[in-house]
Structure 1
């Protein structure tokens, strides 16, 4: 790391996390020297990263948390992480939805955020295997005390299937439904994305359902915050060459951004500099 004196909090924490993962651990005194900030600032950063569950604090520093490739966090646990990043990503991705088109949204907290931004895009047909995403659209169609349902509300198709901890519906029923459909664009949330493993998930059934989504789409847009880059789940379901665009947030470190751009020409970095 070079002189990063003017880095804002989320940028600084992204750099710290990248360094922890790359080196297998860091010490507080090294980070204070390299980032030109106080010991107290670094300790606050490490506390924040530890609360997100991505590092483990040890005496004098931190080491990475190595999750099992089969670990699948629930929707509620994930919904509290990287909120501003997900909003930036959702806002940018929503601009890629063409009025009157057929789109698909996979499960996940980022696609859930995206669904709210798609409510004002008229004439959409939305296919999703996410109970949470479907509820966003269904709620917008219900009459309210202030008047009727939202004009131009999307037509929503919710696949059947077996519910995962992320509130996605997967398995043979979902797979058969998706196989019979064709989408202009798929907005795909992922557990992990990397050069070696491509797109991956800890859930084997979800991997197969996502594989069907990718095959059915003319254009695949991955929506994932910067913490997903370099994460690998149990099962890969698509290669990076099958991705047309990757929408992430400004928290992605420069080194990771360069690596992503080498393999994903359709990189979109949403939002400006992260806030303190």
Structure 2
């Protein structure tokens, strides 16, 4: 069943954020704000900020940083002048002691004066480049959330943060997969090139039809699975760190920015 129960918002990034901020769009953000970057989000108390920053730097394929807030400030003017991290995502996740306990549409009641926000590059940005190149992105075409899977690839730990890589998967014909490698290789700030093609069992994935996050994939005859490092990876690290309180985006429900996707490519 489609997540899109309301009319999909269109227009400029700030107009779409306003729609989300006022609760008029609660679905995934794939395919919205064509041409502009979206971001994964992690919010945690300042005392864990340095360790999480080191974790992102050490695992940059999965956690490419686009911006970091000052402690207590929910705004990220480097990504858009009006962004408010407490209201501008369609859905969030609240973690307590490593467990997801709630998925609210607004986190103002959970915000603390020492909170820091980390905006992490999102594969939705390179999806626009794939579509522009004529490569099918099936979850967008079928109005679904991208499938995401836990793997057995270990991350580089930092402080309390550790775990295994999460990947997103896009099925496509082999020829398109070769082109997808070329298209995404120059976009490292939004995960860059795929980390694996075919053979999901080599990643520890046993059943593509049952993703750990998102929706089951739409796989057509002749498709092969293509896997990218995924910005849901920090959620696994937060589960393992067992912080008293941490907040993330709900998978597929991203922060839309004013940054053009073209600015995230190598010059």
TM superposition score category, shorter chain reference: under 0.3
TM-score (norm 1): 0.26
Larger relative helix fraction: 1
Q: Identify, as 1 or 2, the structure richer in strand.
A: 2
**TM-score under structure 2 length normalisation:** 0.26
Q: Which has the higher contact order (CA 8 A, sep 6+)?
A: 2
